[in-house]
Amino acid sequence: MMKLVIDNIVLRPGRPEGEIGEEIGRRLGIPAPGGYEIIRKSLDARKKSDIVYRYRVVIDLADEIARPLIEAGEAAPYEKKTHPTLAVRRPDLSVLVVGTGPSGLFCALRLIEAGARVELLERGKPIEERMKDIEILESSGELNEQSNVLFGEGGAGTYSDGKLTTRTHRPEIDQVFRTLVEHGAPSSILYEAKPHLGTDRLRGIVRSIRGAIHASGSNISFNETLDDIIVHDGAVAGVITGTGREITVERVVLAIGHSARDTYEMLLKRGVTMEKKGFAAGIRIEHPAALINRIQYGNSPYRDLLPAAEYALTFNDRMSGRGIYSFCMCPGGRVINSSSEREMLCTNGMSFSRRNQPFSNAAIVVSVSPEDCPGGPLDGISFQRMIESSAFRSGGGLYHAPAQRVTSFLAGRLDTDLPEVSYRPGVVPARLDRALPSWIVDAMKKALPAFDNAMKGYITDQAVFIGAETRTSSPVRIARDSGFQSVSVRGLYPAGEGAGYAGGIASSAVDGIRCAEQILCGARR
C-alpha cells in the first residue's frame, strides 16, 4: 500500500464532507475509497459565481493502482512530517512560569511532561471569575485592572476571535494543535486553512488545561502579580509577589503578555535588557455582517450556506513608508473593551465559534516604528497610553467608546447620531479624526479609498469607527539569547508575545514549547 496526497477535491457549499470519498473516486477514476484523511480545507471565493471548498486529502492505495496515478500527475507520494518529542526527564527542575496565556500554558505543559516541578503565577482570576468582571465592565463601566479582557486565565487571546493562523512553520505547531484538540477543540482545526476557535470554545479549553496542570501536581496561583525579581550575581534567585510572598526559584519564565506594563517597568529597574520594537495603532471598524458577506460573496447562490465572510486589506503609503492594514478581523463578532488601566480606553475584537453575530469588525491600524517613539525602551508604551487617554476623554468616561461613521471621519465632521453597534457599555459620537495623532489619521485617510476600491461598498454610512486600537502587539522586546535566556539575567526566560517574540495564540504557544525545551536541555545550575 502507498500513501498518496490528492489536491483540489472540490465540494459545493452545503454538500457534506462525507461525500469526499465519492469525489475522490470520480476524480481518479477508481472506486470510492473507504477511508481518507483531510489535511487541508479552504474556501475559494475568488469567483463569486462559483464559490467552492477545496480539499487536500491523503488516501491509501495498492501499489498497482497508485503508481499510474503518480505517473499521470493525479497524485503524489505522501510522507507525514513529525516533530519528535524531546526524550528527556528533568525531575530535578523547579520552574516558575509567570502568565497563563498560550505561551505560559504550553511552556508549563511541556515542562510537566518532562517531570519538572512547575508553579504558574497569574495576576488575574480563573476564567469563571474573570467572565463576571468583564460583564460588570460592559454593564456599568467599572474596570478591574487585574481582571479584564487582557488579564486573567488564558491571557488576552481567550477573549478574541481565537484565530490559529500563523506565519510560523515551526514543527511544534502540530503539537500545539493536537494539544488543543485533546482539550476540547474540534479536530477540524488540524486541516482548516484558517482555523479559529472562538472565545466560547477557548474558555472551555483553558479550563481543561487548568485541570491537567492541577492533576499533574502543579499549581496555578491566581490573583498574584509578579512585583519583583531577586537577582544574585547576575542570576535569578527568586521573586516577590504582590501578596508579599517570596518564592525561591532559579528559573523564571516571563510569559507576561503584551500589556503587562507594570512588569516591564519593574524589569527595567532591575537591569533587564529591553528594547523598543515596532507595533501598530489605529481604530476598530465595524460593519453589518450582511454587508461584508455581500461584498465578499456577491450574489452567490450559496451565500446563506457560507460562513461569515473574512477580509484582509493592506495599503503601503509610499511617501511615509508606512503600512496601513486590517488586523484581527472578527467576522460575525463584537467590538469589546480591552482596557487594563484606569481612565484609558482601547478596543479589540471578539467572535464566538459560530461567528453568527450581526456585525463584523476589524482593526484598521498604522505601523508604528521605534523611531516614532524616541527615548527609552518603554516609550512605545507611553505612546499607547497617550492614545488611550485621548480615547477615554473623547468617550466621556465610564469606558464608553468614542465612535464616528467612516464617512464622517473622512469628511472631518461630528455625527449627530450613530447606527447600532456591538460595543458595550456604549458609544458616543466623537471626532476620532482629532483624537488620534495626525499622522495616523492622515495615513488612514489615504488607505481607506484603496480599501473601498478593493471591497466595493466598504466605505459607507453603516461603517463605524470605534476607538482606539493600540494593543496589536508588544511595543517592547525583552532581549534573550539563543537559549531563550535573558542576555542580562541568567535563569530568566522571556517567552511569547509579551516578550516580543510571537504574535497570536499559535505562535505564542510554539514559543512557550521552545522555551521549555531550552530549559530542559540547559545545564544544571
Residues 93-125: tens digit of each pLDDT:
999 999 999 999 999 999 999 999 999 999 999
- Give the integer Cα–Cα distance in Å for 405 and 336: 18
Q: Assess if residue 14 is contained within a domain.
A: yes
Q: Same domain for 310 and 446? A: yes
- Give the integer Cα–Cα distance in Å for 345 and 393: 9
- Give the integer Cα–Cα distance in Å for 386 and 294: 37
Q: Same domain for 403 and 506? A: no
Q: Same domain for 55 and 153? A: no
- Give the integer Cα–Cα distance in Å for 401 and 27: 54
Taking only the tens place, the pLDDT of each residue in 333-354 is 999 999 999 999 999 999 999 9
The pLDDT of residue 523: 53
Q: Assess if residue 82 is contained within a domain.
A: no
Q: Same domain for 128 and 271? A: yes
The model carries a pTM of 0.96
The pLDDT of residue 525: 43
Q: Same domain for 235 and 124? A: yes
Question: Which is nearest to 164 in space by CA: 109, 213, 205?
Answer: 205
Contact 308, 332 (CB under 8 A): yes
Q: Same domain for 372 and 400? A: yes
Q: Assess if residue 517 is contained within a domain.
A: yes
Q: Assess if residue 88 is contained within a domain.
A: no
Q: Same domain for 126 and 256? A: yes
Q: Assess if residue 50 is contained within a domain.
A: yes
- Give the integer Cα–Cα distance in Å for 136 and 142: 6
Question: Which is nearest to 163 in space by CA: 177, 146, 152?
Answer: 177
Q: Assess if residue 435 is contained within a domain.
A: yes
CATH of the domain at 22: 3.30.70.2700
Sort 456 into a burial class: Cβ within 10 Å, 0-12 / 13-18 / 19+.
Answer: exposed
Contact 118, 100 (CB under 8 A): no
The pLDDT of residue 116: 96
Q: What range does the domain containing 162 cover?
A: 94-275+477-521
Question: Which is nearest to 115 in space by CA: 512, 522, 520, 524?
Answer: 520
Listed as ranges, residues in the chain with pLDDT below 50 are 524-525
- Give the integer Cα–Cα distance in Å for 513 and 517: 6
Alpha helices in 37-184 (DSSP H): 63-71, 102-113, 127-140, 172-182
Q: How many domains does the chain have?
A: 3
Q: Same domain for 202 and 238? A: yes
Strands 252-254 and 492-494: parallel
Which grid coordinates are listed for 77? 507520494
CB atoms within 10 A of CB 187: 12
